[in-house]
């Protein structure tokens, strides 16, 4: 995927690594200008489960959890969500593409959300429209967390800050678990080298994991990834 650029005040800089925004954790970034993951040749068919509907509240406490308006398949979400809730919702989005300008439904959601507006101001941008057409892998992860009411998911557009927040809160490690937020660093370098993010579906116990990722070949896709490309995993507070 072609790198994208935009102009912001000099104190922010004009280039950052791939995807995150910690609206309540203190570290803020904006969407990636780095190439995204390669396209799948055989994307999986979306699971036939009901899509969630949610509001855009920012939540409270240390993290950026959804609250209040979050709903799942038209029903009010219970306190928090399960890993399977997140995986099921992610499956309904497989095949969702960005448009010709590089914008996706997840960019639009983020731009219109309280999170996007709040964080745009904190990075010095005049409006959340700064996220339009930018790399959206972490916006997809944030969308999943907000739309399922997942606790401790974080809500970012910059992957490095997102991973740093998981580590700071003691929810970052090296064990793949279903529903974990998986951070990829294609060329190594630990957290600072992170390029991309997705959701773990399954540990295959053979050095690979099954994932669902946004902004992979300009779409939401299923992937089988070698764990050698993983910088670490963030663990939401699933019920």
Res. 78 pLDDT band, cuts 50 70 90:
low
- Whether 48 has a pLDDT exceeding 50, the answer reads no
Res. 79 pLDDT band, cuts 50 70 90:
confident
Supply the pLDDT for residue 122: 76
Write the burial class of residue 154 (CB in 10 Å: 0-12 exposed, 13-18 middle, 19+ buried).
Answer: buried
Q: Is residue 154 part of a domain?
A: yes
Residues in contact with 13: Cβ distance below 8 Å, sequence separation at least 6, in sequence order: none
Q: Is residue 102 part of a domain?
A: yes
pTM: 0.71
Q: Is residue 66 part of a domain?
A: no
Name the least confident of 63-72, 91-100, 155-164. Answer: 63-72
Supply the pLDDT for residue 119: 81
Tens of pLDDT, residues 118-156: 888 878 999 999 999 999 999 999 999 999 999 999 988
Q: Could you tell me the CATH number of the domain that includes residue 187? A: 3.90.1720
42-77 in b/e form (b: 16+ CB < 10 A) is ebeebeeeeebebebbbbeeebbbbbeebbbeeeeb
State how far the Cα of 21 lies from the Cα of 161, in Å rounded to an integer: 7
Among 215, 236, 237, smallest CA distance to 104 is for 215
Res. 61 pLDDT band, cuts 50 70 90:
very low
Q: How many domains does the chain have?
A: 1
Name the least confident of 55-64, 79-88, 179-188, 207-216. Answer: 55-64
Q: Is residue 191 part of a domain?
A: yes
The whole domain housing 107 covers 71-234
Residue 32, classed as helix, strand or coil, is coil
If you average pLDDT over every residue of the chain, what do you get? 75
**Percent with pLDDT over 90 in the chain:** 61
- Whether 44 has a pLDDT exceeding 50, the answer reads no
Q: Is residue 214 part of a domain?
A: yes
Q: Is residue 130 part of a domain?
A: yes
Residue 168, classed as helix, strand or coil, is helix
Tens of pLDDT, residues 152-201: 999 889 999 999 999 999 999 999 999 999 999 999 999 999 999 999 99
- Whether 206 has a pLDDT exceeding 70, the answer reads yes
**Percent with pLDDT over 70 in the chain:** 67
Res. 238 pLDDT band, cuts 50 70 90:
very high
Res. 63 pLDDT band, cuts 50 70 90:
very low
Q: Is residue 195 part of a domain?
A: yes
């Amino acid at each position: 995927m072609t790198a994208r650029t935009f102009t912001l005040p000099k104190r922010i800089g004009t280039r950052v690594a791939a995807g995150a925004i910690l609206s309540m954790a203190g570290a803020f970034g904006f969407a990636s200008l780095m190439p995204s993951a390669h396209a799948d040749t055989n994307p999986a068919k979306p699971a036939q489960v009901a899509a969630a509907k949610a509001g855009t509240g920012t939540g409270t406490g240390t993290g950026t959890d959804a609250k209040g308006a979050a709903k799942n398949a038209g029903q009010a979400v219970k306190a928090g969500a399960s890993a399977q809730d997140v995986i099921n919702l992610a499956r309904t989005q497989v095949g969702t593409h960005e448009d010709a300008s590089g914008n996706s439904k997840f960019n639009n959601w983020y731009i219109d959300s309280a999170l996007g507006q709040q964080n745009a101001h904190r990075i010095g941008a005049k409006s959340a429209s700064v996220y339009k057409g930018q790399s959206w892998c972490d916006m997809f992860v944030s969308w999943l967390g907000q739309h399922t009411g997942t606790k401790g998911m974080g809500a970012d557009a910059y992957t490095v800050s997102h991973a740093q927040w998981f580590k700071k809160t003691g929810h970052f490690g090296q064990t793949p678990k279903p529903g974990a937020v998986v951070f990829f660093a294609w060329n190594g370098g630990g957290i600072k080298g992170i390029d991309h993010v997705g959701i773990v579906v399954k540990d295959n116990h053979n050095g690979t994991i099954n994932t669902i990722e946004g902004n992979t070949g300009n779409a939401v896709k299923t992937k089988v990834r070698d764990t050698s490309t993983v910088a670490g995993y963030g663990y939401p507070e699933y019920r």
